Amino acid sequence: MTQVKVLISDSMDPRAAAIFRERGIQVDEITGKTPDELAAIIGEYDGLAIRSSTKVTKAILEAATRLKVVGRAGIGVDNIDIPAATARGVVVMNTPFGNSITTAEHAIALMFALARQLPEADASTQAGKWEKNRFMGVEVTGKTLGLIGAGNIGSIVASRALGLRMKVVAFDPFLTPERAIEMGVEKVELDQLLGRADFITLHTPLTDQTRNILSRANIAKTKKGVRIINCARGGLIDEAALKEALDSGQVGGAALDVFESEPAKSSPLFNTPNFISTPHLGASTNEAQVNVAIQVAEQMSDYLLLGGVTNAMNMPSLSAEEAPRLKPYMALAEKLGSLVGQLAHGSIGCLSIETEGAAAALNMKPITGAVLAGFMRVHSDSVNMVNAPVLAKERGLDVREVRHDREGDYHTLLRVSARTLAGERTVAGTLFGNSAPRLVELFGVKVEADLVGDMLYIVNEDRPGFIGRLGTLLGKANINIGTFHLGRLAEGGGDAVLLLSLDEPVGPDVVSKVEALPGVRLVRPLKF
């Protein structure tokens, strides 16, 4: 078995590499490479651990033929082409909690620096001036802080601001009224926040929806003299518009730790009165760097060794403790999805995934991903759990998840149904001994079979002599039958279903000969 290898391509606390080695993973620390140099070596690695310097582009991902996971030691992932990673089945993880307190504290520090004009007062005093009357600050007590983004970091900022006796209003489309009450903030729309806030601080990812959320038009809606802080991502603020607003006095002060283009060697905002800048220091504390390095190494190791998925940007989370229990179900799900994909030909508009018994209590997202991976791998060998849901959505496939509380014939059951032009096609499976996947129903026919290796699916008239003729034909072709599973659509005549496991694959010539046997209605070679 090939040893798992991870590349650390940005400077990171040495504890990250130590964790990989402790878990039996080979790790190389190679930093400062150009994109071309990185592309030349990335094909050797199963995992890539980065901070903000490495740009994981589509070209890098195309060269990363073994890559399974990219781990970002930090929050922002705008240096990773997530759609391209997803398309190639690569999990993208971040560490959203390792530097949360550090970033929140930096935002509060910048708010105080703006309120009391600390950088300018320091420069003036050290220049030998004593300009007490020039630096008239404002108190934060009693002021309104507007949070744009009320997630992990935003909630920490809110708690600190409430401790300073500020009023906090928050705009976040995902913030529920119940969570707002729990945080002690008032949930508002963006226009309300802009018109009421004395200080505005941003704590939201950079997306198509949030890019330039503080645009020229929105800055014009703010309360005159507002002070703005951004420790989140560059690109959330129109920097040229902010410069104009600072010059006009519409904005009373601004503090940016992040810029649209980094490193920010020049900016129209530099040397503007009442403007403070820091070089992306939000996560720059010893504690935060240690935390994110440890977290990214642990998360990547859990995924590469155990299948655990934590803080992934492009697939459901699956804890390392949960993964062993789910693995047999995911194996069953993938086999059932593959079976439907190989047998349900023609246009498929809807795929339904149902669980009952013990399976109904499980996390369904990984199971659904496994069904889709098996279903779609019939048409592409690059499909896996990561990209299958995206590919299914792109193709307009309606995927439905259904849980049943009822108890059936089996202690646990997974059923996959495809709606085709020929009607509903349903297969079902269970786990024997809670570990061995077993097919128990095939298109309405009760049949028990292991889905392994090369198989042959046959629908034929239920008449005497057919099994003998089939055995003779396969024997003449030097194809040995491993197991033989028979089910009837109806008792005493009608059609029967045969599912054979074979020691060798069945070629087109043999399939044609089987199709020519009297009474045969359908023949499909299968592979698992």
Query: Which residues have a catalytic role annotated?
Result: 233, 262, 280
Q: Are 203 and 145 in contact (CB under 8 A)?
A: no
- Please name which of 132, 166, 88 lies closest in space to residue 385, comparing C-alpha atoms: 88
Q: Are 262 and 234 in contact (CB under 8 A)?
A: yes
CA angle 512, 515, 518 (to 5 degrees): 135
Please, which residues bridge with residue 6 across strands?
A: 27, 47
What are the strands of the beta sheet with 47-50, ordered from one edge?
A: 26-29, 5-8, 47-50, 69-72, 91-93
- Please name which of 217, 213, 211, 252 lies closest in space to residue 116, comparing C-alpha atoms: 252
Q: Which two tokens stand for residue 464?
A: 């005497």
Q: Which two tokens stand for residue 35?
A: 């994109």
Q: Which two tokens stand for residue 116?
A: 């009391």
E strands in 213-333: 226-230, 251-256, 275-277
CA angle 481, 485, 487 (to 5 degrees): 145
- Please name which of 332, 297, 287 lies closest in space to residue 48, comparing C-alpha atoms: 297
Q: Which two tokens stand for residue 74?
A: 């930090």
Q: Which two tokens stand for residue 388?
A: 């299958």
E strands in 126-175: 144-148, 167-171
Handedness of CA 197, 203, 206, 208 (dihedral sign): negative
Task: Tell me how crowded residue 279 is: count the other CB atoms within 10 A of its CB.
Answer: 11
HEC letters along 345-364: CCCEEEEEEEEEEHHHHCCH
DSSP string, 411-423: SEEEEEEEEETTE
Q: Are 256 and 282 in contact (CB under 8 A)?
A: no
Q: Which two tokens stand for residue 98?
A: 């390792």
- Please name which of 412, 438, 440, 416 lies closest in space to residue 426, comparing C-alpha atoms: 416
In angstroms, the CA 401 to CA 242 distance is 47
What lies within 8 Å, CB to CB, of 270 at 6+ separation is 277
Looking up tokens 């934060």 gives 140
DSSP string, 247-272: HHTSEEEEEES--SSSS-S--TTTT-
